[in-house]
Amino acid sequence: MKRITIITASVLLIVSMFAAVTASAALIGGDGGFYYNLHDNKTATLAEYHGTSEDVNIPGEVYSYTVTEIAENTFSNNTKIRSVRVPETVTAIGAYAFFGCKSLETAVIPSSVEKIGAATFYNCESLTMAAVPPSVTSIAANAFTGCPDGLTILGIKGSYAEEYAHEHGYNFEGSAIYGDADFDGVVSSTDALFVLRVSVGLAECTPDLVPVLDIDGDGMLLSTDALELLRYSVDLPANERIGKLAF
């Protein structure tokens, strides 16, 4: 009986070691110090970061796999990074993802994310601005605990981000989304018509609004910008920046 127990224990040990090796092998390194778990459905989870950059731009693709998730604790206790920009491909950010990133000053969340989890930015004591798109409808109560009192959440007026900021005592600053001329939170044919009127001299646009409506980034409001907005409003392929927060 003892002999069987010993053999069984040995087998379990071997299985555990094999599982650990397999899990380790699944972690694939990419450029910039990013490490990923690749999945059968051609998506990837960003699992670890060992880079040295202070301004982190997370890739949206690695080895033809689309990066759709940031795992729990991916950047936790990294004291080097000062800013982070999450790509539009990411739909989920794990809990504690940026926990204790004491030098992090700005964070830009893409419009593909719907939820900011528990303690995501907990104890980021230098964080002064977090851009939260209208797609986010859930933010954990402690997501920004330990951040400065002067933290500003940048978002669309009337969005959940504004509600959350007021409820938790953070500053809120309203922004626009690219292509939204009337600031109603939606890019429609009305916005396209306004840009078209500006382009032919039938309407005027204030200088601060030009960058929001200048879809191709050439510094001018032309009929081509209006056309892109019109295409977007009827669900045709259009410039990718339309509908995203303008900073």
Report the alpha-carbon distance of residue 172 to residue 125 in Å, rounded: 18
Quick: pLDDT tens for 178-236.
998 876 678 999 899 999 999 999 988 877 678 889 999 898 999 999 999 999 999 99
Q: Looking at domain 28-174, which CATH architecture does it have? A: Alpha-Beta Horseshoe (3.80)
Helix intervals (H) in 26-92: none
- Upper half-sphere CA count for residue 151 (Cβ side, 13 Å): 30
Q: How many residues does the chain have?
A: 247
Return the percentage of the chain with pLDDT > 90, whole number: 63
User: Looking at residue 5, what is its pLDDT?
Assistant: 44
Report the alpha-carbon distance of residue 181 to residue 246 in Å, rounded: 12
Report the alpha-carbon distance of residue 196 to residue 193 in Å, rounded: 5
Q: Could you tell me the residue ranges of all domains in the chain?
A: 28-174, 189-246
Q: Band of the pLDDT at 247, cuts 50, 70, 90?
A: low
User: Which of 65-74, 85-94, 211-220 tops mean pLDDT?
Assistant: 65-74
Angle between helices 189-199 and 223-233 (to 10 degrees): 170
Picking from 81-85, 86-90, 146-150, which range would have the lowest pLDDT averaged per residue? 86-90
Return the percentage of the chain with pLDDT > 70, whole number: 88
Quick: pLDDT tens for 30-56.
999 999 999 999 999 999 999 999 999
Report the alpha-carbon distance of residue 191 to residue 234 in Å, rounded: 12
- Upper half-sphere CA count for residue 65 (Cβ side, 13 Å): 20
Average pLDDT over residues 90-95: 93
> 1: burial class by Cβ within 10 Å (0-12, 13-18, 19+)?
exposed
User: Looking at residue 177, what is its pLDDT?
Assistant: 85
Pull the structure tokens for residue 91.
């739909």
Q: Please, are residues 145 and 123 in contact by the beta-carbon 8 Å criterion? A: yes
Phi (first) and psi of residue 165, to 5 degrees: -60, -45
Query: Which residues on neighbouring strands pair with residue 173, listed in sequence order?
Result: 154
